[in-house]
Every structure is written in C-alpha cells, then in structure tokens.
Copies of this chain bind each other. A is one copy, B any other.
C-alpha cells in the first residue's frame, strides 16, 4: 500500500487548523447524538474491521517492512505488528466500548433549593480530545472509540511508522460513523506524517482541542507535558511501591510482591521498589528477597537487604527514583510507616502504591496519607488498570490532580453542566 492517503502539503499549520475546525464542528453534532447512533457506529466499525482484514494486514505489512528497512529495534517492530488475533482483539475492543454505559446525559446529582429551584448536574462531553501516540496501530481504534462513546470528537496522531496501518483502521471507524449518520470528522486521523503536526496539536489548534492524551514512552509524554498549551491526561512514570508493614502476612506479601513486580514488568503499575518495615524485617526480608531472586528478578538493596542474600547488589540513591520496567527491583528496610510514607512521597511518581498489612490502622493511614492516584491495601499494584477498575476500557492513567486521575475511562472523558428547573423564580 502506498502512502497515497497522506495529504501532500507544505503548510501543515493550515491543514491542522482545518482539522481543528472540523473537529469542533463534529463535536457539537456529536454532543447531541443519540446513544443508539454511537453504538451503531462502533459496532459497524468493528464489523468493517473484520471484513477489511486483508487490506489492514497488507497496510500493516508495508509499515513493518519499511520500519525493518530503517533498522529500528525488535520491540518496536513487535508493537507495530498486527496479527490475526491482535486485529480480532482490536475489533472486539470496539464492540466492548459500544456496549459500555453511555455517560452523556446522566444526572450525577440533583437537589432542590429552598426557593423550589431544582438543580441537576448532568454529564456532557468534554469536546475535542487530541491523542498523540507511538506506532501502535491498535490505539487508533481504542482511543477513537472511547472518545466517541463519551461524545467527544477525536484527533488522532499516531507514530509515522504506523501511518498506513492507522489509515486502514481509521477507514473502518469512518465507515461506522457514516453508517450511523454521524459526522465522519468525529474521529479524524491527522492526514500528514509531518512532525510539525504534533506541535500544532500541542498548541491547541486555536482553542479547538480541549485536552491531549499522550500514549507512549517517557520521551513522548515528557514532550507533551512540557509543550502542551492545553490540559493533558497522562503519567510520566509509574514508580510504584509495595510496602510490607508491621502485621503483614509473609505468604500474602510474597504473592503480592511477585505479582506486582513480575506479572508484567513493562506496565506502568509494575512495582519498582519494595519497602520492608523493620518490625517484620527479621522474619520477612530474607524470604521476600529470595522469592524475587529465585523468580529471576535482580535485587538492588540497602545494606540490610544485602546482608540477607549475597546475590543482592547495592542500591544507590538513583535506584529509589528509577522506573525499571524490567525484572529489577530496589529493596529497602524502613523504620515504621512514617518513614515508608516519606520514602514514597520523596521518590514516588504518585501513580500506584500499596501497603501489605493486617493492621487496619496502618492501612488506613497509608491510604489516607500517600498522595497517589491509586493507593492499595493488600493487593497487587498491577490492578492499576481501567479494565480492572470496571471501567471497561481506558485511554491511559493520569497522575495529575485536575479533572481526571487514575485510569481514564469513558466517564473521565466527560464534563458536566447544571440544568436549573424553575417555576418562574426571580432572585430577590
């Protein structure tokens, strides 16, 4: 497949300004779209994607071939590559989002004032969501679908290396929108691979982008957070902690740390540091460290941790700050819950942090005082995920405190307004 669908232009600014205007127009129509139309659009898009498998695969093969020729890393190729089952998963994802509860129009709160005015607080779409991602073709479908379900127009800008694949997947989304009688501009793929398009999106397209969601590595997220002139839903890092406190059962602590660290090491909810309270260090530290080492995890520890197993290498100050995203963990003995919370607040990234203990008072304190998007008692940090939270799907996890925090699902992609019902009241 050629790159014929890429818009040839010298003037990226003009192209992007047009994309922004069309998105805003589509958002206004979409905000009023019946629930059923969004379901039809997403279901039809899923069907179309299955039907168009050959074309999507051909596009993806062209992307993969070009990427290989340019000599990128194997992990990059893996993320870029679609298989039959991956594509089936993408189509199924569209159908799952179609079936989620529609948040738009939901009355979140309702109360009546002494003067008889009834005030309803009702969910509304946010407007236009810009999504900037790397060369993972599935994000085109996932992000587009979530934005649509929440009544938002989406402007999608994927990695240049996945352009052909994204165009092919986007065609299915456009087909679905058209089937449902919704504006096809409701989900736009940026029609140029020119990197200047990213800068244009970060500027907000003259007020036509309301929020930007970056999906990808730290470099991408850091650039977006630094340069965006509009709000961003994101997390830069997931430097997550498991704190094994006084009153922790060793068996539970072992299960949790092995899962939190090793179930998948590359996810943002993976644990990166284990804190063991001195109160249980004599009994728990050695077996916890042994379990990690035996499972193939490298352990970097403070002096006390190194003393329990010769395989432990020294941890430096830098280790406490590091998100390894690998089978490596930093381990430290701490003096009580205050020191543990201090450590988490000093070195953590406010993503997801867990305490293991049977002491409810300690757990309550940790959950109240650790200022992270997700705080966990007696469970793995790897539950940090919109699906696991019951949100059905997520567009990412946010660590900011504005608007969205934690897993960003359909509901977090909405705003609200107030609808006041009177009987002729005037204000005295």
A113 at the interface (CB under 8 A from B): yes
Whole-angstrom CA separation of A256 from B401 in the bound complex: 39
A316-345: which residues lie under 8 A (CB-CB) from chain B? 345
Residues of B within 8 A of A389 (CB): 113, 119, 418
Residues of B within 8 A of A111 (CB): 390
Minimal beta-carbon separation of A249 from chain B (angstroms) = 8
Minimal beta-carbon separation of A238 from chain B (angstroms) = 14
Whole-angstrom CA separation of A415 from B398 in the bound complex: 12
Given A126-B401, A426-B380, A427-B382: A420 and B256 within 8 A (CB)?
no
Q: Mark A340-372, 1 if CB is under 8 A from B, else 0.
A: 000001000000000000000000000111011
A417 at the interface (CB under 8 A from B): yes
A1 at the interface (CB under 8 A from B): no
Say whether B420 contacts A376, CB under 8 Å.
Answer: yes
Specify how many copies of this chain sit in the oligomer: 2
Given A113-B390, A119-B389, A379-B117: A415 and B427 within 8 A (CB)?
no
Say whether A373 contacts B417, CB under 8 Å.
Answer: yes
Given A369-B32, A390-B111: A420 and B231 within 8 A (CB)?
no
Residues of B within 8 A of A256 (CB): 424, 426
Could you say which of A210, A260, A417 has the most chain B C-beta atoms within 10 Å of its C-beta?
Answer: A417
List 26 A-B pairs, Cβ < 8 Å. Answer: A28-B345, A111-B390, A113-B388, A124-B371, A124-B401, A126-B402, A127-B401, A231-B231, A249-B424, A260-B426, A373-B417, A374-B418, A375-B419, A376-B419, A376-B422, A377-B420, A378-B422, A378-B423, A378-B424, A379-B421, A380-B425, A380-B427, A383-B422, A402-B403, A405-B416, A405-B417
